[in-house]
Structure 1
Amino acid sequence: MSDVSSAERELGSAFLPKFDAHGLLIAIAVDAVSRDILMVAYMDEEALAKTRETGLAHFHSRSRGKLWLKGETSGHFLRVQEIRVDCDQDALMLLVKPEGPACHTGARSCFYRQLEGDALGRIA
């Protein structure tokens, strides 16, 4: 249990990230220019610290259980321009400058399909 009150976290000026029971918080990468949502991932304390230290988006890979620098194998880094924090500090919005596609499929954004009835249609 945290010693931080809800009012302190929601109305105060201190950065007091609220990690979930697994030590994670949601991080939404948004193109700083177009404002398109590029991807959603998770950060633990280490990923958040590395992101703040380097200016490059780092995440926690739940499947591999370790730190992941976005772009370390593809070269498609996300350069963080600004970090915004939601009202109860359990989610972050990273305004980023993408250096290539954000999605591992090669799509510019992970949100490249829309629901059309019971099927998925590709967004142009």
Structure 2
Amino acid sequence: MTGSTEGARILLVEDEQNIALALKFLIEKMGHQVTHIDDGHRALQEVAGLAPDLVLLDVTLPGASGYEICQHIRASHALDATRVLILTARGADIERRKALALGADGFMSKPFEMSELQAQVAALLARPREA
């Protein structure tokens, strides 16, 4: 864990390539290191080894859902300090409640303003995760 808002390790789990490219560019421009995975199953296999500070997580993914990945992260003590931000086109309030109940630290509905995402990323990285 970096413990600061600069130079954090971010795991981006997003299967829509155009969205992933835009988010990767934006987050790298903020000074963070981004690893992109486009498959839920692969994200489940690799998240512990990557030990990210923050996971930006789509819900609808091939292989495993973002909710499954969030649960996996929260079940791993090695990832206790990892923050999870759910990004989804499923913007209903029930989706937000589900994400937060499963341990996500934040939730954003697509489409969103890039400045809003930057603010969320900075806020999540600035505070320690409460387990």
- TM more than 0.5: no
- TM-score band, normalised by the shorter chain? under 0.3
What TM-score results when the alignment is normalised by the length of structure 1?
0.24
More helix by share: 2
More strand by share: 1
Larger radius of gyration: 1
